[in-house]
Amino acid sequence: MQFQQLQYFVAVAETRHFTRAADLVHVAQPSLSQQIKSLERELGADLFLRARGNITLTDAGEALLPLARRILADADTARHEVQELAQLRSGRVRLGATPSLCTGLLPDVLRAFHDRYPGIRLLIEEGGSHDLVRELARGALDLALVVLPLPTPSPALTTVEVLREDLVVVSSPEASAPGGGRRTVRVSDLEGERLVMFRHGYDLRELTVAACRSAGFEPDFAVEGGEMDAVLGFVRAGLGVAVVPRMVAARTGRGLRVTPLARPGLARTIALAHRSDVAPPRAARELQRMLLER
């Protein structure tokens, strides 16, 4: 049974006339009649009683008609849904990002994407790069913003660099300024400072601890284990200083002293990752384009 045969059958059933039905579906009348006969042979029953000038449905035709209409309607619905997705009118994008990127980079980009494609649902998952890579690999995310280098190199992922972001030191204005109040501080100036530190698995934790050790000292933690908002809150309360991305400090640094790191400073590379073996959906590719063009 072919989809086209059902179209022809419904057209004849509704017009009760082979020639008018052929005009309706834009096909030659002999071709339409041949397809109807082929359908009847396949079903093993006549669908129409063909009296001169009078076309009526047989019992088999009456039974088939609502089913054929439903199949054609479902096909139209499927076509419409696919076109909606193709034209970015509906659908979803599953995006993973580290908490600091959710705070610093994403708000403006997601607002622009939502303004352009209001029918697309945005599903955001926060996590460390290690967790996001795992979620990408199992197909739970379409895209993920991760910090390079990846904790575990994965040949199954494609990564494209989005930006390289400087890190800065934030402190409470009520506390002594790190580095004796100079306009910039070195990583070595953090020796003797009490640090407010992120939880284990947080990319910024590993980066900061590694930088301190490279400068020849072990960092001293006043508080550890928080996410970005908690870390900033603890710094505002005067519990210690923290190393955070410049974009985060610019967006949520109210009530904090922001001190740049002296050259060469510290920076992190942000990349957009997706599975190499599966092309991201159309909506995800559009979000990817906007992120890369930001």
Domain range for 184 is: 164-268
Q: What is the pLDDT of residue 86?
A: 79
Spatial neighbors of 47 by CB under 8 A, at least 6 apart, are 9, 36, 39, 40, 57, 58, 60, 61, 64
Contact 93, 284 (CB under 8 A): yes
CB atoms within 10 A of CB 62: 12
User: Is 77 inside a domain boundary?
Assistant: no
CA distance 136 to 143: 7
Q: What is the pLDDT of residue 65?
A: 95
Q: What is the pLDDT of residue 171?
A: 96
Q: What is the pLDDT of residue 80?
A: 81
Residue that is last in its domain, among 72, 93, 112: 72
| Domain match, 279 and 141 both | yes
Q: What is the pLDDT of residue 138?
A: 86
Q: Going residue by residue through the chain, which has 294 residues, state the pLDDT in tens, using 9 for 90 and above.
A: 899 999 999 999 999 999 999 999 999 999 999 999 999 999 999 999 987 778 999 999 999 999 999 999 999 888 887 877 777 888 899 999 988 888 888 999 999 999 999 999 999 999 888 889 989 988 899 999 999 888 666 668 899 999 999 999 999 999 999 988 889 999 999 999 999 999 887 889 989 999 999 999 999 999 998 888 899 999 999 999 999 999 899 887 788 999 999 998 999 999 999 999 888 888 999 999 999 998
How many folded domains does the chain comprise?
3
| Domain match, 159 and 275 both | yes
Spatial neighbors of 1 by CB under 8 A, at least 6 apart, are 39, 42, 43
| Domain match, 205 and 258 both | yes
| Domain match, 158 and 275 both | yes
User: Is 207 inside a domain boundary?
Assistant: yes
CB atoms within 10 A of CB 209: 17
CA angle 185, 187, 193 (to 5 degrees): 85
| Domain match, 217 and 169 both | yes
| Domain match, 280 and 212 both | no
